[in-house]
Structure 1
Amino acid sequence: MKLLVVDDEKAMANAIRDNLEYEGFQIDCAYGGQQALDRLLAEKYHLVVLDVMMPDLDGFQVLEQVRANNDHTPVIFLTARSAEADKLRGLGLGADDYVVKPFSILELVARVKAVLNRTTPQAEIKSLQLGDVRIDFMKLTVESGGQTEELGRYEADILRLLASEPGRVFSRTDILDQVWGMAAFPTNRTIDNHIVKLRQKIEPAPKEPRYILSIYGKGYKLFPTA
């Protein structure tokens, strides 16, 4: 995957580049807002790590012009600013995440992977069979015993995520990052409530779940089924 790293501090940009290249990504660097905008108008990237505070065009201006060009490349803002108003402004312009300096490079790499996981088209799971229950992700329905029930959007996204790797334990942070991202401000309790609703719709005995299992202190997994 090809990523663009933008920061007017060359040492910072190059350090981020080196670490992301170590993770297997192809990286281009831009050392100013105008240079970044020129690259984004000329080339396609899977994601942009974009510094906010730059002397020519700041990150907000770059993103605003990119989105005005109908370019929806995922963007992670990188900045020393931590004010809530700046975060909300970034989200309003269409940013996908926001990392405040100083930061751990491991945190940035993890956020890059999380944003890519939820924004990169993958082989879509269209349906799922759990015992006598059939989930249709296209229609957002659950069919069981001749009855059909609607499936909420977030319920479907959580279940699809769990079904993407049956047996893998997804932490609540994994689910928050890959289902909600920064478009909202959900809590762990929000996830738990959606899991409860899911179990009520797909489990034969919701209080004794067979398919969506809780792993104490870790998260949730979908029990592998035939």
Structure 2
Amino acid sequence: MPTGLVLVVEDEPAIADLVRRYLLRDGYGVHVESDGDRALAACRRLRPVAVVLDVGLPGRDGIAVCRALREEGDWTPVLFVTARDDEVDRVLGLEIGADDYLTKPFSPRELVARLAAVLRRQGEPARPAVLEAGGVRMDQAARTVLVDGAEVALTVTEFNLLETLLRSRGRVVARAEILARAWGQADYGSSRTVDVHVAQLRAKLGPGSPIETVRGVGYRIAG
């Protein structure tokens, strides 16, 4: 199962590619943006597990991006990366809600290690061991799914997809977010992949499948 999608916001292609390769090697999915406005849109759309955010972006800089996220109530962990090594910059970044700060040039291994440490410190809110909807019962600890009491065999991808939808019960989940959460990637050219897997999952869940299609957007399980 993917470790989660990390949004990398960096306007220097060589650095972005280096960070991307090291994160992929450690099991993260990665989506890259090069400016602040697109980074904010990607955060809202993909809901990454963390953001690696360059401070010196063209247009809306990293400080402004982080401030906008926090003002929206989005507390996704943010690891700042900057070419500046000024204490005022570091303090400002931390005061507006950044979780860590790394100065260029940096070791990509250190960046991955710091990101992992931030995620460990943050931890995940307590999750119910059992998720249920419309006759479907998922036991995460046992990795089993029952439909009206009968066990249904799912592939790892189908299990992750169903878990993503059950956790977002009552909310429409866009295809891009499903790719990010269930596959750990944000390959928009593969949105058809989501449709194919949802169709297979529905077939296994039977005629009472609680998965609904929201035309032009994605899928949901009614709350």
TMscore range, shorter length: 0.5 to 0.7
Q: Is the 8 A contact 1:3 1:48 kept in 2?
A: no
Q: 1:65 aligns with which of 107, 110, 128?
A: 110
**In structure 2, C-alpha distance between the alignment counterparts of 1:164 and 1:127, rounded to whole Å:** 10
Deviations 1:141-187 (A, max 9, x none): 22346643332222222222222232211111121222223387871
Q: Which residue of 2 aligns with 1:222?
A: 221
Q: Is 1:123 aligned with 2:129?
A: no
Normalized against structure 1, the TM-score is what?
A: 0.52
Q: Which residue of 1 aligns with 2:205?
A: 202
Which residues of structure 2 form unaligned runs of 5+? Answer: 1-49
* % identical aligned pairs: 25
Deviation, 1:6, is 4.0
Seen in structure 2, the aligned counterparts of structure 1 residues 173 and 65 have a Cα distance that, compared at 3 Å, is: same
Q: Which residue of 2 aligns with 1:15?
A: 64
Q: Is the 8 A contact 1:128 1:135 kept in 2?
A: yes
Deviation, 1:125, is 3.5
* RCO higher in structure (CA 8 A, sep ≥6): 2
Look up the SS of the partner of 1:194 in the other structure. Answer: helix
**In structure 2, C-alpha distance between the alignment counterparts of 1:221 and 1:185, rounded to whole Å:** 19
Which residues of structure 1 form unaligned runs of 5+? Answer: 75-118
Normalized against structure 2, the TM-score is what?
A: 0.52
Q: How does 1:166-181 map to 2 (within 5 A)?
A: 166-181=169-184
Q: How many residues align?
A: 162
**In structure 1, C-alpha distance between the alignment counterparts of 2:74 and 2:115, rounded to whole Å:** 25
Seen in structure 2, the aligned counterparts of structure 1 residues 202 and 213 have a Cα distance that, compared at 3 Å, is: same
Task: State the Cα RMSD in Å.
Answer: 4.3
**In structure 2, C-alpha distance between the alignment counterparts of 1:70 and 1:9, rounded to whole Å:** 20
Deviation, 1:193, is 1.8
Seen in structure 2, the aligned counterparts of structure 1 residues 126 and 16 have a Cα distance that, compared at 3 Å, is: same
Q: How does 1:176-187 map to 2 (within 5 A)?
A: 176-182=179-185, 187=190
Q: Which residue of 2 aligns with 1:156?
A: 159
**In structure 1, C-alpha distance between the alignment counterparts of 2:154 and 2:211, rounded to whole Å:** 15
Give the greater-gyration-radius structure (CA): 1
